[in-house]
Amino acid sequence: MKKRIIALLMMTVMMCMSVVGCSSQSTQKEENETKKEENTSETGGVVKLKIWAEEANWEVTNKMIDSFKAKYKNEATFEIELMQGNDGETKNNLLTNVYGGADIFSFADDQLNAMVSGGALAAVPNPDEIKAANLEDAVSSCMVNGVMYAYPMTADNGYFLYYNKEFLSEEDVKTFDGLLAAAEAAGKKVTMDWTSGWYLYSFFGNTGLDFGLNEDGVTNHCNWNTTEGNIKGVDIAQALLNISSSSAFMNAGDAALLEGAADGTVIAGISGVWNEVEIKKAWGENYGAVKLPTYTVAGQQIQMASFKGYKMMGVNYYSENKEWALKLADWLTNEENQTLRFVERSQGPSNKKAAASDAVSKVPAIQAVIAQSEFGALQRVGNSYWAPLTEFGEAMASGNSKGTDLQEIMDVMVEGITASVGQ
């Protein structure tokens, strides 16, 4: 009797477990189905995507999103959220939290290698099509080891010289000497940011001296302190001191350039296309833009160099809707939308057909960055580059107020540039 009761009890427990198990499986299945419906992948239902974009580009980006939704309205319902992003910080924001990052994001080309190394970017599925449609340099900037990891978006991420034609002639702006002399005579200012290694590269890039990223992708090689050759390191330092000694020179960034252009105190400045709208507003028909001038170093006129760059759209490798994210990134960077971005935001297209339009050819800023690109190089530098250049630039802008030996200054700068990470 006792055994029979125990057997009945065991059967009852097993039946209950079976019911609970079925219920649990059913609940899990329902949750999975609900999640799938809420965040459907590639074949229909609701597709949720997040885009990081700079707020200044939201209005034009929303227009592109609307046209994308209209294009694919019969394939899915889209919930696309624009989120505040900074193109210069995309790499850091993404690699810090790749799983929580946006599905799609814009960024400058110098961040590409780090994001690829971090496994954060999805490869472009149609590279041949993208290569055929875009400028060769822009395409190259999107590739690592022969694989394309982003869609080219703009070809204007460089810098050049803005100038006010009321005070400066085409001849004046050909050389830094002529530029400063004319500004001095007018009692006006010329700006350039010497706290940034991005701009300071201008004085080194075309001198024949050596600089670049090592094969490890982390450290730099540099001989900007050389004591041999037609142009030595100290020659460049002295050239900067000569420039900063002019009453017309102002070591200042974009904010000072725009403020000075508006109030009439600044008549020239080195910057990029992102300031074209405000500069044009300030100077009107007198607004001009050209490639960077030459400057005097060791008794020679050397064409100022630049870091040239491109912006692109990438897709998070861990996006839950990766295929749709890739389609949208492709859409946001196609010929039609690059043209729209140019019309509404004055951003230079990387798409060949869009870049060849009559409208683009009539924008001085874009033509200036194209002209300067002949003398530029893609920015490929290790992190140890930036701080030493800031210290060097500030010392030169102050006129070497501490009276430090110039060779010592150059040696210290190069030691910092070539330092291993963490030193």
Question: Stretch 291-308: mean pLDDT, rounded?
Answer: 97
Share of the chain above pLDDT 90, in %: 84
pLDDT at 217: 82
Query: If you average pLDDT over every residue of the chain, what do you get?
Result: 90
Write the DSSP string, 262-313: HHTSEEEEEE-GGGHHHHHHHHGGGEEEE---EEEETTEEEE--EEE--EEE
Q: Which of 403, 408, 406, 380 is nearest to 111 (CA)?
A: 380
* 339 contacts 349 by C-beta, under 8 angstroms: yes
pLDDT tens digits along 249-275: 999 999 999 999 999 999 999 999 989
Distance (Å, rounded) from C-alpha 315 to C-alpha 140?
Answer: 18
Asked whether the predicted pLDDT for residue 187 surpasses 70, the reply is yes
By CB neighbour count within 10 A (0-12 exposed, 13-18 middle, 19+ buried), where does 58 fall?
A: middle
| Residue 52 backbone zone (phi > 0: left; psi -120 to 50: alpha; other: beta) | beta
Q: Mean of the pLDDT values across residues 88-96?
A: 95
Interatomic CA distance for residues 11 and 380, integer angstroms: 71
| Distance in angstroms (rounded) separating the CA atoms of residues 370 and 154 | 12
Top pLDDT among 256 and 39 is at: 256
Ranking 86-90, 251-255, 256-260, 387-391 by mean pLDDT, the lowest is 86-90
**Average pLDDT score over residue span 306-320:** 96
pLDDT tens column, 14-32:
444 444 444 444 444 444 4
Beta-strand ranges (E) seen in 46-188 are 46-53, 77-84, 104-108, 143-144, 147-148, 151-154, 160-164
pLDDT in tens, 136-171: 999 999 999 999 999 999 999 899 999 999 999 999
Residues 149 and 142: beta-carbon distance below 8 Å: yes
Contact 169, 294 (CB under 8 A): no
- Packing angle between helix 233-244 and helix 406-417, nearest 10 degrees? 110
pLDDT in the model for residue 20: 42
Q: How far apart are CA 282 and CA 18, in angstroms?
A: 78
- Report the SS3 class of residue 361: helix
Q: Taking CA 53 as the corner, what is the angle to CA 49 and CA 55, rounded to the nearest 5 degrees?
A: 125
pLDDT higher than 50, residue 3: no
- Asked whether the predicted pLDDT for residue 330 surpasses 90, the reply is yes
Condensed to tens digits (0 to 9), the pLDDT of residues 347-383 reads 999 999 999 999 999 999 999 999 999 999 998 899 8
Q: Helix, strand, or coil here: 406?
A: helix
Q: What are the boundaries of each domain within the chain?
A: 46-154+311-349, 160-308+380-417
CATH superfamily of 46-154+311-349: Periplasmic binding protein-like II (3.40.190.10)
What pLDDT was estimated at residue 78? 97
Confidence label for 44 from pLDDT (cuts 50, 70 and 90): low
pLDDT class of 346 with cuts at 50, 70, 90: confident
Element (H, E) at 221: strand 220-222
Average pLDDT over residues 119-138: 97
Fold equal for 46-154+311-349 and 160-308+380-417:
yes
Name the CATH topology of 160-308+380-417: D-Maltodextrin-Binding Protein; domain 2 (3.40.190)
Position 36 pLDDT exceeds 50: no
